[in-house]
Structure 1
Amino acid sequence: MRTIPATVSKLAFAGLLAVLPLHSAFAQDATAVAERLKTLLAGQGLELTWSGVDGDASKMTLESVMVKAAGEKDGLPIGDIVLEGVSEDNGGYTIDTASTGNFTRTKDGTTIELSPFVMHGVSLPAEGSTDPLASIMMYKSANLDHLTVKKGDKTAFSLENFTVDVTLPADGNPLEFKGSVEEFTGDLSLVKDPKSKQAIDALGYQTISGNMKMAGSWQPSDGQMVLSQYDIAVDNAGTFGLTFSIGGYTLDFIKSLQDLQKKMAAQPEGADSSAQSMAMLGLMQQLTFTSASIRFDDDSLTNKILDYVGKQQGMSGKDIANQAKAIVPFGLAQLNNPELTAQASKAVNAYLDDPRSIEITAKPATPVPFAMIAAGAMSDPKTLTKTLGVSVTANQD
């Protein structure tokens, strides 16, 4: 199953970037547009080929497109890419819609099926523009109606109505985005591991369903990247939420990272990559950590797990909760942070008595360079909780 997310990610990335250069290079005919697309994607670390190009500015098609990441042997056939409503805009170009076709691929007994991935309001500034975002594809919205992953003839995972909306940066304001998956489903009865299957059956999660929501922003000028919401809600279980904020994720950083990734991909198998690894560490020093949080809002999962573990040991769920309360302070004492130990123990006790929500937050007084975090992790990991300002709370809105 590990090939599935990689394939889906590659397909989505290809679908997004496939539109990228189709304005910037618009040169009177579809073939010139396609060649410019190929050139720009090569700069993004993707190799693009096709069997033919047809159409004009009103509607053009790149036929039988194959996309391959730099350094990979095998490409991914994504079918035709259709661009409609290509027009010039102050030396640059806009595309009303850009879409792939239906996609199906089977490998090692797993079949991935996707409906067309469609982007709306795609734009690219003129080539040579002084706009700092001139090399990045922008779009106003995108959607994927269906995605299905099958094992044999059984549906292991599916999602419905994935959408993304983007507010483009203007007048010094950051780029803002939000997205959602209206519904996803998973068939956990297909899990083969006996122990995992036993737990899944006991907890009653042979099939699961839920939804996903995300939102955030990116300021190109200083590289402040904020993921303000990333919530995955599973019906009759709970909601897992993640947020983070980092600085230094600028266009220069992105370009340097892409260049380094290309060099690493070009390395022959078995070659010494220590120089590239050191370069990667040096590059990461440009980033700063501002904040992060992990939160779980319970919807019956906690008590189900306590009861299940208790049954395995001939005890009640309440007995297991009391054992956990007693163990937590001893485990946290190893962090050498008495204040955090007391705070976390209090939060865990409150949560186990009344499971509503529990959250771990890291928010230092000032942004911390990633280099300092890495150095602390290697020299004295126990100091990290103080450096990052870690705190634990329970049952707070």
Structure 2
Amino acid sequence: MNFARSPRIAAGLTAAVSLIALHASPALAFDPTGSDVADAFLNLLDAEDGTVESYGSVDGSGGTVTISDIVVTKDGDDDGRVTIATTTLTDGAVQDDGRLKLGSLALENLQLTADDGGMSLARLSVTDLLLPSAKEMGADTPPVGPGYKTLEATSIEILNEDGKLANVARISSSIDAMDGDLPTGGQFSVTGATVDVKQLQSEETKTLTDLGYETLTVDLAGSGKWDPDAATLVISEMKIDAKDAASLSLSLSLGGVTREVITELNAKSDKPEEAMALLQNVTIENAKIRLDDASLTGRVLDQEAKKAGVETPQYVAGLTGSLPLMLGMLQNKELEGQVAQAVTQYLTTPGSLELKAAPSAPVPLSQIMGTAMLAPQMIPQILSVGITANQ
């Protein structure tokens, strides 16, 4: 089992969710339970460098199998351990190809410990789950694609060796529609991810502390829909909302996203250069990026003004006064005027800043990349970029 060695949030959450899909050893290192469904699940937890050390009772009734007190240890590491108080497998069936299909999976009171920290979560629940076989997981190229319909994790805590580093109230994800084995619609959210800034050791977190943030709470949300027949991909929302700081949101519409493109991208996920080549004929139809301030801009301006030894209004006036010179590189007088006006409004009275790209016809990514190398100042014109503030 690959235990998370880093106390970072992403590593910890990945470790929790990956309990349901790990590199499995084909041989059972635990005593068979008498239930094919329970054995298949435990076999996926029993990995090459980890062992299902023990479990409590295994009860089956009416299509539900409940396993209590699972303990998974990391070979050669006395501190590496995962415990799951209760595991509930509903409507399970081991298929002819060795895959385990579940109507639902619920893990309650999961604890992961390691020598540099650990994590815990109150509950992880997944519906319409299809887990790969041990043979598939042991292959160099395991199956690609979602194996679930909905996923929710609640009350997550991330620890380092000094104590609690972060907690997350809720993580949810859903696959709302499918085209064969490919998802065509879905959404996700992370709610109440609170980080103790003082516990993090980096230049970025020192900057946050200097700005007056002892903790930072972030919500994430995203949703999208792919129409394989029309070859369009619409990301209707991708938002990061940092409380008492700022929120950043993105929406995007792409064309030329065919079944072949998606299939090839999945196949070349470990070859980024080849994957980029597949995007040459994908087009941008429109895009929007919006920044909404919630005190972060004012904090930064106050801090920089203090460093310069001037009052904040004077510092802002100096910044906005230099905009015409800085914007000359755009070589587009109309856009220069828009940017100067919007940025001046935003810095003077921080509210929102919105950038839109609305070309009259879809623009291929190959054209954008070529323009970026030869004449980057032309990109705003190609994409018909506009900018507004406080609207």
Q: TM-score, normalised by structure 2?
A: 0.70
1:3 Cα offset (Å): 7.5
Q: Kindly indicate whether residue 167 of structure 2 is the aligned counterpart of residue 158 of structure 1.
A: yes
Secondary structure, in 3 states, of the residue corresponding to 2:322? helix
Of the three residues 149, 163, 167, the one matched with 2:176 is 167
- Cα-to-partner distance string for 1:111-137 (whole Å, 9 max, x where unaligned): 34344432124479xxxxxxxxx9854
Matches within 5 A, 1:42-121: 58-59=64-65, 83-86=89-92, 95-99=102-106, 102-106=110-114, 109-121=116-128
Of the three residues 168, 171, 186, the one matched with 2:195 is 186
Q: Kindly indicate whether residue 219 of structure 2 is the aligned counterpart of residue 211 of structure 1.
A: yes
Quick one: distance in 2 between partners of 1:251 and 1:65? 40
Q: Kindly indicate whether residue 361 of structure 2 is the aligned counterpart of residue 361 of structure 1.
A: no
1:195 Cα offset (Å): 8.4
Query: Does the 8 A contact of 1:253 with 1:286 survive in 2?
Result: no
- Cα-to-partner distance string for 1:217-270 (whole Å, 9 max, x where unaligned): 2223344332222222222222222222333444432332233345x5xxxxxx
Query: Does the 8 A contact of 2:9 with 2:158 survive in 1?
Result: no
- Which residue of structure 1 aligns with residue 140 of structure 2? none
Of the three residues 292, 297, 302, the one matched with 1:302 is 297
Structure 1 window deviating more from structure 2 (387-396 vs 252-261): it is 252-261
Secondary structure, in 3 states, of the residue corresponding to 1:284? coil
1:31 Cα offset (Å): 9.4
Matches within 5 A, 1:152-301: 152-169=161-178, 175-193=184-202, 197=206, 199-261=207-269, 264=271, 277=273, 279-301=274-296
Q: Kindly indicate whether residue 325 of structure 2 is the aligned counterpart of residue 318 of structure 1.
A: no
Secondary structure, in 3 states, of the residue corresponding to 2:229? coil
- Cα-to-partner distance string for 1:29-50 (whole Å, 9 max, x where unaligned): 549977xx99xxxxxxxx9998
1:191 Cα offset (Å): 4.0
Gap change, CA 1:192 and 1:59, over 3 Å in 2:
closer
Quick one: distance in 1 between partners of 2:40 and 2:315? 64
Q: How many residues align?
A: 343
Quick one: distance in 2 between partners of 1:95 and 1:148? 27
Q: TM-score, normalised by structure 1?
A: 0.70
- Cα-to-partner distance string for 1:186-229 (whole Å, 9 max, x where unaligned): 111234457863x4344221112243333322223344332222
Structure 1 window deviating more from structure 2 (154-163 vs 240-249): it is 240-249
Structure 1 window deviating more from structure 2 (178-187 vs 247-256): it is 247-256
Quick one: distance in 1 between partners of 2:113 and 2:257? 34
Of the three residues 347, 365, 373, the one matched with 1:370 is 365
Q: Which residue type is aligned with residue 258 of structure 1?
A: N
Query: Does the 8 A contact of 1:82 with 1:99 survive in 2?
Result: yes
Which runs of no fewer than 5 residues in structure 1 stay unpaired? 19-27, 39-46, 67-75, 125-133, 265-275
1:106 Cα offset (Å): 3.2
Q: Kindly indicate whether residue 330 of structure 2 is the aligned counterpart of residue 335 of structure 1.
A: yes
Quick one: distance in 2 between partners of 1:190 and 1:2? 14
Q: Which residue type is aligned with residue 190 of structure 1?
A: Q
Quick one: distance in 1 between partners of 2:327 and 2:189? 36
Quick one: distance in 1 between partners of 2:340 and 2:321? 9
Secondary structure, in 3 states, of the residue corresponding to 1:232? strand
Secondary structure, in 3 states, of the residue corresponding to 1:168? strand
Quick one: distance in 2 between partners of 1:16 and 1:286? 37
Quick one: distance in 2 between partners of 1:388 and 1:9? 38
Q: Which residue type is aligned with residue 163 of structure 1?
A: S
Secondary structure, in 3 states, of the residue corresponding to 2:249? strand
Quick one: distance in 1 between partners of 2:228 and 2:21? 19
1:283 Cα offset (Å): 1.6
Gap change, CA 1:298 and 1:281, over 3 Å in 2:
closer
Of the three residues 4, 17, 22, the one matched with 2:8 is 4
Gap change, CA 1:303 and 1:282, over 3 Å in 2:
closer
1:347 Cα offset (Å): 0.6
Secondary structure, in 3 states, of the residue corresponding to 1:204? coil
Quick one: distance in 1 between partners of 2:147 and 2:352? 37
Identity within the alignment, %: 23
Query: Does the 8 A contact of 2:6 with 2:12 survive in 1?
Result: no
Quick one: distance in 2 between partners of 1:387 and 1:351? 25
Gap change, CA 1:12 and 1:221, over 3 Å in 2:
farther
Structure 1 window deviating more from structure 2 (226-235 vs 243-252): it is 243-252
- Cα-to-partner distance string for 1:269-316 (whole Å, 9 max, x where unaligned): xxxxxxx83x33422224322333322111222222211111111111
